[in-house]
């Protein structure tokens, strides 16, 4: 009875799997693939990545076009601007408002009235109904021209929006941009207005140029690793020393606010990396963050710690991704500027040709009118009885004057002549008409001259913009190369590490009772501790809370690459002593190394740090034949070699005792370089 149901279940399973294999590939996967690609393409091109031609994202382009449509010279409520922009932008008012505030705070294209927030403190703008804006004169002059702008239908088909604004400024590099799309992101640095236009002029003159970022918050920028719009930048706050106990931060790194800066300083202070008594933010139109230092701490000692442990120094990784010909690509700043300059030259040439055609049409109309009135051609139509006959008569009358006209007269030209009123004919001023014609001819001649040398015209245009607006935009950031701050050197030595030789414990939580003064030293949490044992083994560890290391440790100190070790040891295999000098060896944390070959009788007889004036007395095992039983050596006589070197033999006789004649350790030597019973002399075993 039980086998039959099992058999049916197996049959069902097999039939179901067979049916599944027979089904065609699911349409759902294709739908997902197609829709996801459409979404990806839309986000990249229509939301996150700016276009190389005008340097704008779609929302920014729609805001500027709306402001141009609304422009009457007066301020408009931002709420009204946002509402009008929604006719072009299908993604809601919050994204429009945020983009408008961001554009306005860059101070190039939008004039502000009201509280638009504070880029230094990170304070938000007031509600859209309370603040106002309008286009700046520079934006009106350089961004718009209907004659050379291509328009498309908006998302609902009710309005027209520009495909790209005919910007005469390199907005992409001027404003900078950040955006995250599907599978890619862009991070374009802002640059200085004057430097951009000067580099455009250099490009037109076929000279080399180099561009570096300029940030609105100022600061110090190290662009040594900046790779033409990509690579890496290091940005620092500008720090002034008001007095020996007060530090004032007056400029900020890119993207940082005073609130974020203060949070990072307070976090470092709580972690013990800084010692401050207070920090206050007095920022208004300019950055002013004041730091008061604790007792015993001075400003010059604290600046490196601020750069090492707080956001006073930040690293920025630019990524210059743009849309070019409807495709995302990575380019360089020089390539972008060359593209924008070539486009400017092309747009100016197009504008000149359009203006020339407009002036030619005006000149043609003026000459037609002059001939029609001066030659009294209107008299010939008095006896005509039909409109067709009138137009034919005027056309025939103009034939003898064809060479004087700009082009052949058309039906529209004849209709305009027939619309001239008698009042205008009777009051016709020949001198005034001649003056207007000469002015039009001069204008056409000037345009033709510019068209012959469009490069020179473009250069003069840029110089005009530079002279008109350049003074308002000086460089904010200081370009300067600076070295990496050594965090270990900048860290406060606020941890007291002790070694209790009897118990064998080491750490900053080891109680200081019954611990000798030369077994205790100060270090920071970033330091590394070097341990050297009597049998020649050594290792490097992090600063421990409490760690058992044994009682055979004869040297403990902070790792310092400048240390020089002077070592005398007994090689147990031959029972002879050797001397060698070496610098701080390379290491991997918590890994054991040896100063000499391991042997049960091998031991250190003297270990002292220092580069000069290290002396020792060597006491030898007495011999009846020997002329002397002791000798003195100067460590300076021995070369500094690697830690793996065997060293030089002290004597062919057995060394009984080694006595240090140098005296007390100097201040710059590790405190624990002279543990009892080691450097004062050790009896041979």
Antiparallel, parallel or unpaired: β 220-222 and 478-479: parallel
pLDDT above 60: residue 22: no
CA–chain centroid gap for 356, Å, is 44
**What was the pLDDT predicted at 515?**
61
Using pLDDT thresholds of 50, 70 and 90, give the confidence band for residue 15: very low
Q: What is the mean pLDDT of residues 176-182?
A: 87
Residue 430 has pLDDT above 80, yes or no: no
User: How far apart, in whole angstroms, are the C-alpha atoms of residue 144 and residue 324?
Assistant: 21
Least confident of 111-115, 231-235, 524-528: 524-528
DSSP result, 243-304: ETTEEEEEE--TT--HHHHHHHHHHHHHTTS--EEEEEE--SSS--EEEEEPTT--HHHHHH
Average pLDDT, the chain: 85
Distance of alpha carbon 253 from alpha carbon 261, whole angstroms: 10
Q: Which of 176, 273, 323 is nearest to 489 (CA)?
A: 273
Instruction: Quote the CA–CA distance of 119 and 476 in Å, as a whole number.
Output: 14
Average pLDDT, integer, range 15-32? 56
Burial track 95-112 (b if 16+ CB lie within 10 A, e otherwise): ebbebbbbbbbeebbbeb
Residue 675 has pLDDT above 50, yes or no: no
Each residue of 368-420: pLDDT tens digit? 888 887 778 878 877 777 888 888 888 888 888 888 888 888 888 888 888 77
Do 52 and 324 touch, CB atoms closer than 8 A? yes
Higher model confidence: residue 422 or residue 99? Answer: 99
Tokens of 124: 């938000």
Cα(104)–Cα(109) distance, integer angstroms? 7
For 297-349, strand residue ranges (E) read 313-316, 321-324, 327-330
Q: What are phi and psi of 478, to 5 degrees?
A: -95, 125
* Residue 388 CA neighbour count, 13 Å, CB half: 0
Q: Note whether 520 and 507 are within 8 A (CB).
A: no
Mean pLDDT of 583-587: 89
Alpha carbon of 310 to those of 302, 373, 378, 527, 528: distances in Å?
A: 11, 83, 87, 18, 22
Read off the tokens for 674: 């002279």
Residue 671 has pLDDT above 60, yes or no: no
Report the catalytic residues. 130
Tokens representing 140 are: 């009106």
Q: What is the Rg, in whole angstroms, of the alpha carbon atoms belonging to the chain?
A: 42
Q: How confident is the model at residue 444 (pLDDT cuts 50, 70, 90)?
A: very high
Q: Which residue reads 């993207």 in tokens?
A: 255
Question: Which are the contacts of 386, defined by CB distance < 8 A and separation ≥ 6?
Answer: none
Distance between CA atoms of 229 and 130, rounded to whole angstroms?
38
Question: Between the CA of residue 219 and those of 211, 215, 231, 270, 309, what are the distances in Å?
Answer: 17, 8, 19, 26, 17
Which pLDDT band holds residue 351 (cuts at 50, 70, 90)?
very high
Give me 314's structure tokens: 């930040």
* Section 120-140 average pLDDT: 95
Tell me what pLDDT residue 26 has.
Answer: 66
φ, ψ (nearest 5 deg) of residue 88: -110, -25
> Residue 44: is it exposed, middle or buried by C-beta count within 10 angstroms (0-12/13-18/19+)?
buried
493-660 CATH, one of 3.40.50.920, 2.120.10.90, 3.90.950.20, 2.40.50.140: 2.120.10.90
Do 332 and 323 contact (CB within 8 A), yes or no?
no
What whole-number distance in Å separates Cα of residue 572 and Cα of residue 21?
78
Q: Please give the pLDDT value at position 5.
A: 41
Q: What mean pLDDT comes out for the span 232-261?
A: 93
Q: Residue 681: what pLDDT?
A: 34
CA 391 to chain centre: 70
- Give the whole-angstrom CA distance, residue 262 versus residue 259: 5
Do the Cβ atoms of 245 and 223 come closer than 8 Å?
no
Give the separation between CA 142 and CA 196, rounded to whole angstroms: 15
DSSP single-letter state for residue 25: P
Query: For the chain, which residues make up each domain, given as ranges?
Result: 56-166, 233-316, 342-472, 493-660
Given CA atoms 673, 676, 681, 685 in this order, what sign does their dihedral have? negative
Confidence band, pLDDT 50/70/90 cuts, at residue 9: very low
What gap in Å lies between CA 445 and CA 360, rounded to an integer? Answer: 11
Report the C-alpha gap between 466 and 461 in whole angstroms.
9
| Structure confidence at residue 682 (pLDDT) | 35
- Asked whether the domain spanning 493-660 has the same topology as the one spanning 342-472, the reply is no
Question: 342-472 maps to which CATH number?
Answer: 1.10.268.10
Nearest CA to 67 among 83, 53, 52? 83
pLDDT at 395: 83
Residues in the chain: 685
Summarize pLDDT for 216-228 with one digit per residue, the tens: 999 999 998 899 9
pLDDT of 4: 42
CA distances from 517 to 496, 559, 600 (A): 12, 20, 31
Write down the pLDDT at residue 516.
60
Largest CA distance in the chain: 157
Distance CA 603, CA 68 (A): 87
C-alpha to C-alpha distances, 562 to 261, 275, 443, 558, nearest whole angstrom:
34, 27, 77, 11
464-512 tens-digit pLDDT = 999 999 999 999 999 988 877 666 666 767 778 888 888 888 888 887 5
Residue ranges of E strands in 543-601: 547-548, 553-558, 564-571, 576-583, 593-594
Residue 285 has pLDDT above 70, yes or no: yes
**Cα–Cα dist 187/194, whole Å:** 22
For the record, the structure tokens of 600 come out as 């049960």
d(CA 176, CA 574): 73
Q: CA dist 208 to 195, 204, 211, 230, 475, Å?
A: 13, 10, 10, 19, 21
Residue 514 has pLDDT above 70, yes or no: no
Grouping H, G, I as helix, E, B as strand and the rest as coil, residue 316 is strand
Which helix (H) or strand (E) covers residue 199, if one does? Answer: helix 193-204
| pLDDT of 259 strictly over 80 | yes
pLDDT score at 19: 41
Architecture of the 233-316 domain: 2-Layer Sandwich (3.30)
Neighbours of 57 (CB within 10 A): 22
> How much is the pTM?
0.76
Confidence of residue 20 (pLDDT cuts 50, 70, 90): very low
Say what angle helices 387-398 and 333-374 make with each other, to 10 degrees. Answer: 100
Q: From CA 280, how far away is CA 264, in angstroms rounded?
A: 13
The structure tokens listed for 27 are: 């349409």
> For position 476, what pLDDT does the model report?
94
Give pLDDT, residue 12.
Answer: 35
| Dihedral pair phi/psi, residue 327, rounded to 5° | -130, 140
Tracing tokens 């662009």 back to the chain, one arrives at 223
pLDDT of residue 513: 59
Task: Look at residue 517 in the predicted model and tell me its pLDDT.
Answer: 55
pLDDT digits (tens, 9 = 90+) for 28-40: 777 777 777 777 7
Q: Are the C-beta atoms of 621 and 671 separated by less than 8 Å?
A: no
Give the pair of three-digit tokens for residue 297.
């701490």
Using the CB atoms, write b or e for 355-366: b if 16+ within 10 Å.
Answer: bbeebbebbbeb
Instruction: Give tens-digit pLDDT for 532-561.
Output: 999 999 999 888 888 888 888 888 888 888
Q: Residue 14 is encoded by which pair of tokens?
A: 């097999």
338: closest CA among 262, 472, 221, 228?
228
Q: Looking at domain 56-166, which CATH architecture does it have?
A: Alpha-Beta Complex (3.90)
C-beta separation of 211 from 174 below 8 A: no
């Amino acid at each position: 009875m039980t086998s039959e149901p099992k058999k049916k279940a197996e049959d069902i399973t097999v039939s179901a799997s067979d049916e599944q294999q027979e089904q065609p590939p699911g349409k759902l996967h294709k739908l997902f693939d197609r829709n996801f690609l459409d979404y990806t393409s839309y986000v990249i091109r229509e939301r996150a990545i700016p276009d190389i031609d005008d340097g704008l994202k779609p929302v920014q382009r729609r805001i500027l076009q709306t402001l141009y449509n609304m422009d009457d010279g007066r301020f408009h409520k931002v709420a009204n601007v946002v509402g009008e922009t929604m006719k072009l932008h299908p993604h809601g008012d919050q994204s429009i408002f945020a983009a408008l505030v961001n554009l306005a705070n860059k101070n190039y294209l939008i004039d502000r009235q009201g509280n638009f927030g504070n880029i230094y403190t990170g304070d938000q703008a007031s509600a859209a109904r309370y603040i106002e804006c309008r286009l700046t004169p520079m934006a009106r002059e350089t961004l718009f021209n209907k004659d050379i702008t291509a328009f498309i239908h908006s998302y609902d088909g009710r309005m027209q929006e520009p495909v790209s604004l005919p910007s005469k400024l390199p907005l992409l590099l001027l404003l900078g941009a950040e955006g995250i799309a599907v599978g890619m992101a862009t991070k374009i640095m802002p640059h200085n207005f004057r430097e951009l236009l000067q580099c455009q002029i250099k490009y037109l003159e076929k000279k080399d140029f180099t561009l570096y970022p300029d940030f609105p918050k100022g600061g110090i920028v190290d662009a040594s690793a900046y790779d033409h719009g990509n690579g890496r930048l290091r940005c620092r706050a500008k720090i002034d020393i008001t007095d020996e106990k007060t530090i004032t931060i007056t400029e900020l790194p890119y993207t940082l606010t005073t609130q974020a800066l203060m949070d990072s300083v307070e976090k470092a202070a709580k972690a013990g990396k800084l010692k401050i008594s207070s920090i206050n933010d007095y920022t208004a139109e300019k950055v002013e963050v004041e730091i008061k230092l604790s007792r015993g701490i001075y400003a010059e000692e604290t600046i490196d710690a601020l750069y090492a442990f707080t956001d006073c120094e930040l690293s920025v990784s630019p990524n210059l991704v743009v849309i070019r010909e409807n495709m995302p690509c990575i380019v360089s700043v020089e390539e972008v500027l060359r593209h924008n300059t070539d486009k400017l030259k092309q747009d100016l040439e197009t504008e000149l040709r359009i203006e020339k055609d407009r002036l030619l049409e005006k000149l043609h109309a003026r000459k037609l009118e002059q001939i029609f009135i001066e030659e009294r051609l209107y008299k010939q139509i008095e006896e005509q009885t039909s409109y067709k006959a009138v137009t034919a008569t005027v056309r025939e009358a103009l034939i003898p004057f064809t060479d004087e006209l700009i082009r052949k007269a058309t039906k529209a030209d004849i209709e305009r002549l027939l619309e001239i009123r008698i009042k205008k004919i009777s009051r016709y001023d020949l001198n005034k008409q001649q003056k207007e014609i000469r002015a039009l001819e001069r204008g056409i001649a000037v345009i033709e001259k510019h068209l012959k040398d469009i490069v020179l015209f473009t250069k003069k245009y840029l110089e005009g913009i530079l002279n008109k607006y350049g003074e308002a935009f000086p460089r904010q950031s200081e370009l300067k190369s600076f070295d990496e701050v050594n965090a270990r050197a900048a860290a406060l030595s606020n941890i007291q590490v002790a070694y209790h030789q009897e118990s064998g414990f080491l750490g900053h939580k080891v109680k200081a009772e019954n611990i000798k003064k030369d077994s205790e030293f100060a270090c920071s949490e970033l330091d590394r501790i070097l341990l050297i044992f009597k049998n020649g083994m050594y290792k490097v560890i992090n600063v421990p809370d409490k760690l058992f290391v044994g009682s055979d440790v004869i040297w403990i100190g902070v790792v310092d690459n400048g240390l020089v070790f002077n070592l005398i040891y007994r090689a147990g295999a031959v029972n002879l002593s050797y001397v060698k000098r070496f610098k701080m060896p390379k290491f991997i944390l918590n890994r054991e190394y040896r100063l000499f070959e391991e042997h049960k009788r091998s031991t250190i007889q003297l270990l002292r740090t220092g580069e000069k004036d290290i002396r020792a007395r060597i006491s030898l095992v007495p011999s009846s034949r020997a002329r002397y039983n002791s000798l003195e050596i100067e460590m300076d006589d021995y070369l500094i070699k690697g830690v793996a070197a065997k060293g030089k033999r002290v004597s062919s006789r057995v060394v009984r005792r080694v006595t240090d004649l140098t005296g007390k350790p100097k201040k710059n030597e590790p405190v624990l370089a002279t543990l009892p019973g080691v450097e004062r002399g050790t009896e041979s075993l």
